[in-house]
Amino acid sequence: MANFNQKFQHKIISLIFFLFLFPLVKINSQSGGAQSLEMANKWIYFHYATPINNYYTYKEIVGDTVINSIQYAIVKQNESYSYQRADSDKVYYYNPQDSTENISLNYSLNIGDTINPNPENFSYVTNKSTTNIWGKTLRKICIYTSYYFFSSSTNWYTEWIGLTSGEGHIPGIAYTVTLLAANIENNIYGDTTLLDINSKENEILSDFKLYQNYPNPFNPNTIISFEVPTSGNVSIKIYDLLGRLLEMENYNYATAGRYEVNFDGTHYSSGLYIYIIEFEDRIQSRKMLLLK
C-alpha cells in the first residue's frame, strides 16, 4: 500500500468515527412521529471506547431540500452530511451513490423482524418498549446489526428523538455511545450546558479526521485521505468483511497535516472492505467498495 505523501497542512475543520450521505414544506416531526427533523434540532453524544480515547460527536439539522420531488432534511454529523425524512413509523435516508431511498428505522416492526437485509449487513429487532419523556409516551426499539461477523452494534432508538444509546465493536475496539443532550423543537433532553455545538466542535477539532476514499466504488485504485492535528504515529489497516487483515502500514511520527494514501485493489476480488486509521490511541474506520 504505497504512496504516503503529505499534500498540505492546515487547521483541522472537524472530525470523527462509524458511515453514513432545501426549502418549502415542513419536515414531518410532530409528536408521535418517527423522528423530529426540524431545523436547528441538535444532539450531543459521548463515545466511551477501549482501548482508545473517549470522544464526543454531534448532530444538527442544518436545512432541507427536495430530491426526486421528495422533501428531505439535511443532517450534519461532524464533517458528514446526509438526507433524511420521516413519517409516523419510519425514518428514511437518500443514498446519493445509487440515487435510492432506503428505510433506516421502522418502529412498526416486531421483535425478530429484519431491516433492509442486504449483502453488506444483517439487522433485526431484538427488543421493544415505551418510555415517557416530556409528558409523551414514546416507542423504543432496539436494533442489532452484524457486518459479516466483522463488527456488530446494538442500538436503542426512541421515536421523535432518535438514537439514545448503543454499544458495539470493530476489530480490536469495543465502544458504547450515549445521548448526553438534545434540543428537539425546543424540548431539552439531558445536560443543557452541552448543547453549544460550536463548543463541542472545538473539542472535536483536537482529534483527527478520516475522509471517505475517492473514488468509491473504485477499480482498482482509490485514495484514502486523512488529517492529523499533531505529530504522532499512524497505522493504516485494510480488512475484508470476514475480519481478515489484508494490508497494514505503520508510519512513525507523521507530522501534523493532511495525507493521501493510494490503495491498489488489483489482487483483490470485488466486494466491501474496511479501512482503519489509528493515530496514537485513537481510531476511525470507513467502508469502501471495490467493483471489477
Question: How would DSSP label each residue in 182-214?
Answer: EEETTEEEE-GGG--HHHHHHHHHTS-EEPPPB
Query: Which residue has 408521535 as its cell numbers?
Result: 32
Closest CA to 227 of 251, 207, 248, 201: 207
200-253 residue pLDDT tens: 444 444 467 788 888 888 999 999 988 888 888 888 888 887 777 888 888 777
- Whether 119 has a pLDDT exceeding 70, the answer reads no
- Nearest 5°: CA angle at 137, between 135 and 143? 135
Percentage of the residues of the chain whose pLDDT score is greater than 90: 26
Q: Comparing C-alpha atoms, which of 177, 122, 127, 175 is closest to residue 150?
A: 122
Pairing of strands 122-133, 245-254: unpaired
Q: Which CATH architecture has domain 4-12+207-290?
A: Sandwich (2.60)
Q: Distance between CA 105 and CA 50 in Å, rounded? A: 28
| Residue range(s) in the chain whose domain bears CATH number 2.60.40.3080 | 4-12+207-290
pLDDT at residue 107 is higher than 90: yes
User: How high does pLDDT run on average in the chain?
Assistant: 78
Contact assessment for residue 60 and residue 41, using Cβ atoms and an 8 Å cutoff: yes
User: What predicted TM-score, i.e. pTM, was given to this entire model?
Assistant: 0.64
Q: Which CATH number does the domain 42-205 belong to among 2.40.360, 2.40.160, 2.60.120, 2.60.40?
A: 2.40.360
Reported as a pLDDT band with limits 50, 70 and 90, residue 36 is very high
pLDDT at 52: 61
Please say if the pLDDT value at position 130 is more than 90: yes
Structure confidence at residue 281 (pLDDT): 66
CB 166 within 8 A of CB 180: no
- Quickly tell me which residue has 458495539 as its cell: 168
Are 125 and 111 spatial neighbours (Cβ–Cβ below 8 Å)? Answer: yes
Nearest to 82 by CA among 96, 103, 100: 96
Query: Distance between CA 106 and CA 11 in Å, rounded?
Result: 40
Kindly tell me if the per-residue pLDDT of 20 is higher than 50. no
Residue 55 has pLDDT above 50, yes or no: yes
Give span(s): CATH 2.40.360, the chain: 42-205
Report the distance separating Cα 226 and Cα 214, nearest Å: 12
